[in-house]
Amino acid sequence: MSRTTKEAESPGRSSSDSARRIELYFFACGHGDTILVRLPDERWVMVDCYLPKHNGVRKRFFEFLDQHQIKDLAVVFQTHPDYDHYLGMHDVLAHFIGADDKSVGHYVDSGLNAQQIKRLLVEPKRPGRDEYQKLHKALQNWHKDGNIFRHYGLDAERPPISPKGYRGKIDFIPIAPDPTTIRNLTELGLESYRKNPQAKLEANDLSLILVLAVKIQNTEFNVLLSADAGIESITNALRIWGEHASENGISDRFRVIKLAHHGSIKNYVPELSGMFVNDGSSNVAAVSAGERVALPDRQVLASFLKSNWIVMTTTVRRKRQFDRVVGLHLKRDSEVSFEERTISLRWNENGELSFGPPDATVASSELDAYASAKQ
């Protein structure tokens, strides 16, 4: 299995320096998910996309594309149609499809269902509704014109999605949603909508959960990408993953886990903190989150820190104490600052893992800057 070292963020390396390197980036985009995977042949995979225009997030992303000379998105995954997982996706795809020297391979999602249709097409105030409709109209046209391939209905019974030339070496394995769950939730959603058109339909349990399984030369590791999946969905997915790992003779441990739903306690499965690779190397639990008070949850972070994971967040909180005078009295107060960091993880040709930047890590002593839904 891979060994681990730690390094500072150093974007824009030359292609010769990163030959045969696998890289994973959790882009700092605020409260949402934008994940990029660099393949050894300079192609890339994108999992979800949240690129609001405010605070220069979208501009920084396109600068990232230029710095890393990204010209080919081999696969694009959309885990579920919540706006913080697809806002800006249209512009990114158009950037690649509209250029002679760039391309997009497969576009993969888990299809549509009653909950998602209701939230996206019926609720008039749903954030990102117009963006989603624009994206899917464009996808239909790009597919028709032969500019993009598209897959529907990816679920836990589908085979892995592998970039061309990497089957069995670099696989994205769907372990959720389970087809039975899709059917049951869709039926429940339809029934709820018949009874009350204003009913809130929960769709997070229909999030696509992927395992990035790498077994190439001296490099072997698994990464869990759990989107916004709920507890039941993650629990079922881990069972499916365990069966898959056993049948294929591979480890079911994870070197990296992307915590579900921005580190929410409502999506936390305690079993996960024990699924680390026990070889003396570091394991990384990554959180993509913005400036919402309760996300990530302090208890979730503490659980992984207690199990000796390196915990990294794209928005790090720093608590600062300061004094102020109230009348004739000196009062001790505190404030929390938010610092954005793009998390990078790199495996070289020897299977060694480096990660950074160092100031994206969360120490136990800094947990009081984070809130918890369960005090």
Per-residue pLDDT of the chain (375 residues; tens, 9 = 90+): 443 433 333 333 333 444 568 999 999 999 999 999 999 999 999 999 999 998 899 999 999 999 999 999 999 999 988 889 999 999 999 999 988 899 999 999 877 655 566 555 555 566 667 888 888 889 999 999 999 988 777 899 999 999 999 999 999 999 999 888 888 877 777 777 778 776 666 667 789 999 999 999 889 999 999 999 999 999 999 999 999 999 999 999 999 999 999 999 999 999 999 999 999 999 999 999 999 988 999 999 999 999 999 999 999 998 876 666 666 666 666 688 899 999 999 998 888 999 999 999 999 999 999 999 875
How many domains does the chain contain in total? 1
Q: What is the per-residue pLDDT for 126?
A: 60
Give the separation between CA 198 and CA 113, rounded to whole angstroms.
17
Residue 277 lies in a domain: yes
β-bridge mates for residue 108, sequence order: 77, 151
CATH number (domain holding residue 47): 3.60.15.10
Determine contact, residues 335/369, Cβ cutoff 8 Å.
no
β-bridge mates for residue 315, sequence order: 340
Domain that holds residue 311: 3-369
Sequence-distant (6+) residues with CB within 8 A of 204 are: 80, 82, 228, 229, 230, 233, 261, 267
Sheet holding 72-77, edge to edge: 3-4, 352-356, 343-347, 22-26, 35-38, 44-47, 72-77, 103-108, 149-151
Q: What is the per-residue pLDDT for 124?
A: 58
Question: What region, left, alpha or beta, does residue 18 occupy, with left being phi > 0 and alpha being psi -120 to 50 degrees?
Answer: alpha
Sheet holding 209-216, edge to edge: 170-176, 209-216, 219-225, 256-258, 284-287, 310-313
Residue 374 lies in a domain: no
Structure tokens at 73: 């998105």
pTM: 0.90
Give the separation between CA 260 and CA 271, rounded to whole angstroms.
13
Residue with tokens 């005090």: 375
Q: What is the per-residue pLDDT for 253?
A: 98
**Chain centroid to CA 29: how far?**
11
Residue 375 lies in a domain: no
Residue 188 lies in a domain: yes
